[in-house]
Amino acid sequence: MLTATLREAARRFGSAPAYTTAGGWTVSYNDLDRVSDAVAAGLTHRGVRGGDVVSVILPPGPEYVVAYLAAAKVGAITAGVNDRLTAGERDAVLVRAEPRLVLAAPGFAPSDHESIEIPAAESVDGLLADLQRSEPVADLPEDPERPVAIIFTSGTTGTPKGALYCNRQLSFITHNDVGDTWGGGVRNFNGTSFAHLGFMTKLPGNLQRGGLTFLMTRWTAQGALEMIEREGMVSAGGVPTQLALMLRHPKFDEFDLSSVKMIVTGGGPLSPGLAEETRRRFRAPLATRYSCTEAGIGLGTAFDDPEEDAVISVGRPHPAVELGVFDEDDRPVAEGEVGGVCLRSAATMTGYWKDPEATRAAFTADGYVRTGDLGWVDDQDRLRLVGRSKEMYVRGGYNVYPVEVEAVLSTHPAVAAAAVVPRADAVMGEVGVVFVVPRDPGTPPSLEELRDFGGDRLAGYKLPEDVRVVEALPLTAGEKVDRRALATLLGHDG
């Protein structure tokens, strides 16, 4: 359905710009269709066939968009790889993806997979120029079950898992977002990796809207605020951390943001204080979105909902999405009680790519996907989150798994044991604090030493931002690290 949507978007919107690059040049809807045709021919020439995986390690830009569209045209599956990951982390994703071909930014191409380096283009004709060919590629017949995208998320042990999405899920998500309406898109900008759920599953809907997206290779609060002012953007938003960083910019009040009429946020917990400040200082209504990589879509608040909805809850289920709050035996909890949050709809992933065991664990017997969050439903049918059943936390919109971080830091020569727990942070939402048992109590490792040590194996957002030295890690009766006790100790420390 991605190809059919692109064809229709090109017919309807033609030379209208779909993307404006960081360099200032534009890519039209016609350009997207034409260039992705040529790249699809190049992929076929390189031996890529239907069902093959094409891994894309590129920053957010027109190169990524064209690669994704071209792969869909030949029936290949795009496995996006966040370019912010370290080489080791990227390799772990590629091992699981088993790609036929890797399209990578310069310096990111792996040595053990067939790869093509994709430099940043300076014009439309330069987009993936080495792959472009003139041979025609026949449109594939519509197949709801044809796989389109693998969206990776880390497991609790740090092992990559890829959520598989097919045409039918993308069709459902698009219908939920825009229905049968064409046009009506606004000017906005991207602020996160295209390898994430939002871009990969919502691209058809974005094409259908016909709007213009300004591309930011690397998001900054300064750049975002300047763009909103310069382009008179009606819509603004991002993950909660991005909102916090914009609000904390020293010259925030000097920018003319009067064009902003709506703000949408998701991808992490939004604190009540941040929600209220965002609405007040942007002088615009706020809507929140809640889901997970495996569920596709979930819940949200609307712009015309009571103001408190976005402050105290993550809203109500979207149409055709079922919310379940279950106990450990997957039975519904009593009204108002806390349980595991689960979602069921036609948008949920088909399963984890080549991981049937993890797939079985991700779903309940009757088809709900487990989000890993804990929450309860209030008397107005709003979901209120209280925490996560797993140990993962979200820093600036990115999931961080303590076990993965501990596996690296515990190998530092001065560390006898390490445990990571999150701490609330006004800007990042949550940050990591590592409790360390030093090998020599007289020379414990500093935070800088630990971050330098882990920097080659962990993405920057996974590294801890505080260190506490302890004589021993508290243990549960089962001889496991008592993370709740550490969190309590952290609270007592201030």
Q: pLDDT digits over 57-95, tens only?
A: 999 999 999 999 999 999 999 999 999 888 888 999 999
Which residues of the chain fall short of a pLDDT of 70?
Answer: 154-158, 387-388, 476-480, 492-494
Q: pLDDT digits over 232-287, tens only?
A: 999 988 888 888 889 989 999 999 999 999 999 988 777 777 888 899 999 999 99
- Residue 492's region, left for phi above 0, alpha for psi from -120 to 50, else beta, is alpha
Residue 387's pLDDT is what?
A: 66
Mean pLDDT of the chain: 92
Query: What would the two tokens of residue 362 be?
Result: 């991700």
- Say which CATH architecture domain 2-219 belongs to: 3-Layer(aba) Sandwich (3.40)
Residue 270's pLDDT is what?
A: 77
The ranges assigned to domains in the chain are 2-219, 287-388, 393-492
Contacts of 437 (CB under 8 A, 6+ apart): 415, 416, 417, 418, 469, 470, 471, 472, 473
Concatenating the DSSP letter of every residue in 207-274 gives HHHT-EEE--SS--HHHHHHHHHHHT-SEEEESHHHHHHHHTSTTGGGS--TT--EEEE-SS---HHH
Residue 7's pLDDT is what?
A: 97
Per the CATH hierarchy, to which homologous superfamily does domain 287-388 belong?
A: Luciferase; Domain 3 (2.30.38.10)
- Say which CATH architecture domain 393-492 belongs to: 2-Layer Sandwich (3.30)
